[in-house]
């Protein structure tokens, strides 16, 4: 909080909303982290711009994850339960959060839905964030791992233009590799840019719509969960 003088007698207090919102989020995230730890739950925050393929990747990941781990999913969207419906029938409990306008999930929202899971019997909780390349980067949930999806159709400049998302990611999933011949995107630039923003993320290439490349991301994730 900063204090600025206005005139000779009046003092105006300025509260930095951004800082206080993030500090509050941090408090909730610590509570979540404790609760997840107590129950042996490993949490993943899956982020990307709208339509990069987060839900498609999850739909195709379950065949590898479910035989190895007890999985739960939280999915955030501004509106509708469509993503949660797409993930039904795979033996994975899915909870949909609607933010009604907010462009990201936050730690308090996650705390509010943890009760919906039998946490003692969950090994891996995957949180699909609201589609947005900016805001989700700032809001931690108490998760163990952050994964950012980028699809080839979004352009080769995105890592440079939205560095926070990729700098803070432990894994970068390049999706829609099937469309590579038709778009201006090359993996060499992508790899250089990921390093260039200071990220040490593991990079996976996939075409999730056909299920291609999803297995190696899942194998890597299973190893992370098992520690």
> Interface with Mg ion by CB under 5 A: which residues?
54-55, 83
208 touching ligand GTP, by CB under 6 A: yes
Q: Which residue is nearest to ligand GTP (CB)?
A: 131
Structure tokens at 19: 């800082």
The binder of ligand GTP chosen from 65, 71, 83, 125 (CB under 6 A): 83
In the complex, minimum distance from the CB of residue 83 to Mg ion, in angstroms, rounded to a whole number:
4
On whether the CB atoms of residues 116 and 142 are closer than 8 A, the answer is no
60 lies in the binding site for ligand GTP (CB under 6 A): no
| Residue 175: contacted member of Mg ion, ligand GTP, none (CB under 5 to 8 Å, by partner type) | ligand GTP
Q: Which does 207 bind (CB under 5 to 8 A by kind): ligand GTP, Mg ion, none?
A: ligand GTP
The one among 28, 36, 42, 53 contacting ligand GTP by CB under 6 A: 53
Is residue 61 within the footprint of ligand GTP (CB under 6 A)? no
Select from ligand GTP, Mg ion, none the partner in contact with residue 138, using the beta carbon and a kind-dependent cut-off of 5 to 8 Å. none
Is 138 a binding residue for ligand GTP by CB under 6 A? The answer is: no
Instruction: Please tell me the distance from the alpha carbon of residue 37 to that of residue 40, in angstroms, as a whole number.
Output: 5
To Mg ion, the closest distance from the beta carbon of 54 in angstroms equals 5
Contact residue for ligand GTP among 31, 39, 51, 99 (CB under 6 A): 51
CA distances to 14, 76, 149 from 54, in Å: 39, 11, 7
Pairing of strands 202-205, 171-175: parallel
User: How many angstroms separate the CA atoms of 93 and 116, rounded?
Assistant: 9
Burial degree of 55 (CB within 10 A; 0-12, 13-18, 19+): buried
Nearest distance, CB of residue 87 and Mg ion, angstroms: 9
In sign, the C-alpha dihedral spanning 172, 28, 83, 50 is negative
- Contact between residue 67 and residue 149 where contact means Cβ atoms under 8 Å apart: no
**Separation of alpha carbons 175 and 119, rounded Å:** 30
Contact positions vs ligand GTP (CB under 6 A): 48, 50-56, 83, 131, 175-176, 178-179, 207-209
């Amino acid at each position: 909080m900063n204090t600025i003088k206005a005139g000779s007698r009046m003092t105006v207090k300025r509260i930095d909303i951004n800082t206080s919102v993030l500090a509050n989020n941090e408090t909730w995230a610590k509570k979540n982290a404790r609760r997840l730890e107590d129950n042996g739950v490993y949490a993943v925050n899956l982020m990307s711009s709208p339509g990069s393929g987060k839900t498609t990747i999850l739909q195709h990941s379950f065949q590898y994850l479910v035989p190895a781990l007890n999985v739960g999913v939280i999915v955030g969207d501004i509106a509708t339960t469509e993503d949660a419906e797409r993930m039904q029938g795979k033996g994975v409990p899915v909870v949909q959060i609607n933010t009604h306008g907010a462009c990201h999930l936050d730690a308090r929202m996650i705390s509010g839905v943890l009760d919906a899971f039998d946490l003692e019997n969950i090994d891996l909780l995957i949180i699909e964030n609201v589609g947005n390349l900016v805001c989700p980067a700032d809001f931690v949930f108490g998760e163990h791992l952050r994964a950012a999806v980028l699809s080839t159709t979004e352009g080769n400049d995105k890592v440079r233009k939205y560095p926070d998302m990729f700098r803070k990611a432990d894994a970068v999933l390049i999706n829609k590799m099937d469309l590579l011949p038709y778009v201006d995107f090359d993996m060499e630039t992508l790899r250089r840019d990921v390093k260039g923003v200071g990220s040490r993320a593991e990079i996976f290439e996939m075409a999730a719509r056909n299920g291609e490349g999803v297995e190696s991301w899942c194998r890597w994730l299973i190893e992370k969960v098992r520690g």
